[in-house]
A and B are shown apart, each in its own frame.
Chain A
C-alpha cells in the first residue's frame, strides 16, 4: 500500500527531519529523551523499582523497538514516556517538554496533542463502531471531526469497508488497524506501541508491522514499540534491550 500517495504533503512539511525513503535524517534534538529516569512502585511498604535510571533518546522520525524479558520495565518505560504514569525521579522530555515537571492535567494535554498509543489488547471501546473509535480521538483532541483526515487514515489502513462494524465483529488484525488509525488520526509526534502484535497471528502481525514501517518510512512517524517478537525488530531502525529496569544496550537492527 503506497502511503505517500494518500497522505497530505503537509505531513512531510511538519516533519522536516523525518527518516524515510528519499528523506535525510539530520542531527537534531531528540523528540524523546529520558535522563536518569526512575519509577518506583509501592507494594505495601516495599518500594519496587520498575525503572532504575533509564537514559534513552529517540530522534524525530526514528523507529525504535524495545525488547527485554517480562517485568524488565518495558511497559513502565512506555507509559512513563507517554505521560500515563509519572516519573519518580529524572526527566522525560517529549518534544522539549519535561513531563516530570508537569501536573497530571498538563501531561494529559500534551499526550492529547503529541502522543498516540497502540496496545497489545487493542483497547477499542466495545460499544462504538470502528468509525466511532477513531472519531472519538479527534473529538477528544478538540478539533472536531475532520472528514478528510479521517478518510486518508482509514484508507491508509484499509478500513474503508469495516467502519460501521463494532470491535466484536472484526478480526484481531482489523481491530489493531483501527487502534493504529485511532492513534495516528491526530498526527501525533510520537507513536507508542505496547506489543501491538502480541495478540495477533503471524499473518496479521506482519500486516501490522508492515503498516507501522510504512508509517515510519513514508510519513516519518516516530515510533517506539515494545515487543517480544524477535522478527518484529527487523522492521525498526534501532533495537533497545532492557533488563531489570535499565537499558543494557542499543544496537542497529541490521
Chain B
C-alpha cells in the first residue's frame, strides 16, 4: 500500500519527478566520471609505463610517481654508472616534456637504440623509426585524435616535427622524439627525467634495486611490475583533494535538489498529510512515507546516473580517443550509496516538517 502510494505520488508530478531523477543522476554521474577520469588516466598511464617493458624506473628525489610531475632532471651520466651494475642488460635515459598545445600531452625524448633495447622496440603500424633529429613517432590513438599521418609536419613545443611513423600504443607516452632534440628544446643538455632499466632476467630486479639504493640514496627507484599499484590518486599531489571536493560538490547538488523536491512535495501535500493523520497515521508513518519517496526517487536517479555516465564516457572517448574513463562497479556502488545518503538527508527536514504539521491546520490548508 505504501509502495503504491509512493509510486502514484511520483507519477502525479512527472516533471518534478523527472527533474529530481535527473538531478540525482547528474550527482551520480559526476562522482562516477570524476573518479573514473582520474583513475582512468592514472591507470592508463601506469599501463603504458608498464607496457614499455622495462624492469626498473629511476626518478630524481623530488619526482612524483606520476611522470608528468617528474621534478628536476638528473645528469645523464648516471646511465653509465647503472650500466656497470650486475644483472643490468640495458639502460635508457628518457627526457620528458609536457606539451599543452592542442591538448595536454607527455612527450618522451628517447635515445632510439637504448629505448628499443629496454622496450623491445615499437610495433609500427605505418612509417618507420626515427632517423633524423626532427622525426616524431606518434601512437595510433594520438594519431587518430590529432588526425596525424606519416609524412605530416606536426608542430609540438613550438617546433616543427616530421611524422616518421605511427606506432602501436602502450609504450609510455603517445609522442616520441629524439632525446637530444628534446633536451635542446628544454634547455637541459645531458639531462634525463627518468632512466629505464632492463635486467638480464626479471627475477634479478630486486638485486639490481638493492645495488642502486646505496649508489643513489634518496632517488626514487620503482620496480615497474608494481607501478600500477603506485598510480593512485593519493600519490598525485592535490588529486585526492580535488576528487573529494568534486564528490562533495556533487553530494551538495543532490542533497539540495532532493531537499527542494521533497519540500515542495510536502507543502503541496499538506492537506494529504492532514488526511493521513486524521486516519490515524503516526509521525513515524509520515516520515517513512516521505523518506521512502525520496529513496524511490534516488533509485531512479542512480539508474539514470549510471546510464548517463556510460553515455558521457562513450561520447568523450569517441571525441577524444586518448582519454580514458574507468567506470568500476565499486565506484558505481559508492556513488549510489553517496546519493542515497544525500537523498535521505535532503528529505529528512521536509519529512520531519510534515510529521510535525498540525493536523487541523493541514486539513484546512489551501
Do A and B actually bind?
yes
Q: Bound state CA distance, A138 and B359, in angstroms? A: 19
Residue B218 at the chain A interface, CB threshold 8 Å: no
Asked if A84 and B277 make an inter-chain contact with CB atoms under 8 angstroms apart, the answer reads yes
Q: Which of A82, A112, A127 contacts B12 (CB 8 A)?
A: A127
Q: Bound state CA distance, A194 and B359, in angstroms? A: 15
Q: Bound state CA distance, A154 and B271, in angstroms? A: 24
Known contacts A111-B280, A112-B279, A132-B8; A125/B359 CB under 8 A: no
Q: CB-nearest residue of chain A relative to B10? A: A127
Residues of B within 8 A of A124 (CB): 275
Residues of A within 8 A of B105 (CB): none
Asked if B5 and A82 make an inter-chain contact with CB atoms under 8 angstroms apart, the answer reads no
Residues of B within 8 A of A132 (CB): 1, 4-5, 8
Q: Which of B4, B8, B274 contacts A123 (CB 8 A)?
A: B274
Q: Which of A105, A137, A145 contacts B279 (CB 8 A)?
A: A137
Chosen A-B contacts, 11 in total, with CB atoms closer than 8 Å, are: A84-B363, A85-B359, A85-B360, A105-B282, A119-B278, A123-B363, A128-B8, A136-B5, A139-B2, A140-B276, A140-B280
B252-282 residues at the A interface, CB under 8 angstroms:
271-272, 274-282
Asked if B360 and A182 make an inter-chain contact with CB atoms under 8 angstroms apart, the answer reads no
Known: A109-B280, A112-B279, A128-B5. 14 other contacts (CB 8 A): A84-B363, A85-B360, A105-B283, A108-B277, A108-B282, A112-B281, A117-B278, A126-B272, A127-B11, A136-B1, A136-B5, A136-B279, A137-B279, A182-B279
Residues of A within 8 A of B275 (CB): 123-125
Residue B9 at the chain A interface, CB threshold 8 Å: yes
Q: CB-nearest residue of chain B relative to A124? A: B275
How far is the CB of A3 from the nearest CB of chain B, in Å? 23
List of 3 A-B pairs having minimum Cβ-Cβ separation, nearest first: A112-B280, A139-B1, A127-B8
Q: How does the 8 Å CB contact mask read for A101-114 relative to B, with 1 for contact and 0 for none? A: 00001001101110
Residue B285 at the chain A interface, CB threshold 8 Å: yes
Residue A79 at the chain B interface, CB threshold 8 Å: yes
Residues of B within 8 A of A111 (CB): 278-280
Residue numbers of A with Cβ under 8 A of B are 79, 82, 84-85, 105, 108-109, 111-113, 117, 119, 123-128, 132, 135-141, 145, 182
How far is the CB of A83 from the nearest CB of chain B, in Å? 9
Q: Bound state CA distance, A93 and B336, in angstroms? A: 51
How far is the CB of A161 from the nearest CB of chain B, in Å? 21
Q: Bound state CA distance, A140 and B272, in angstroms? A: 14
Q: CB-nearest residue of chain B relative to A113? A: B280
Residues of A within 8 A of B281 (CB): 108, 112, 140
Residues of A within 8 A of B358 (CB): 85
Among B2, B11, B276, B281, chain A packs the most CB atoms within 10 A around the CB of: B281
Among B8, B11, B359, chain A packs the most CB atoms within 10 A around the CB of: B359
Asked if B271 and A140 make an inter-chain contact with CB atoms under 8 angstroms apart, the answer reads no
Known contacts A85-B360, A127-B11; A145/B1 CB under 8 A: yes
Residues of B within 8 A of A126 (CB): 12, 272
How far is the CB of B350 from the nearest CB of chain A, in Å? 17
Q: Bound state CA distance, A138 and B279, in angstroms? A: 9
Q: Bound state CA distance, A79 and B272, in angstroms? A: 16
How far is the CB of B235 from the nearest CB of chain A, in Å? 52
Q: How does the 8 Å CB contact mask read for B276-298 relative to A, with 1 for contact and 0 for none? A: 11111111010000000000000
Residues of B within 8 A of A113 (CB): 280
Residues of B within 8 A of A136 (CB): 1, 5, 276, 279
Asked if B360 and A84 make an inter-chain contact with CB atoms under 8 angstroms apart, the answer reads yes
Residues of A within 8 A of B280 (CB): 108-109, 111-113, 140-141
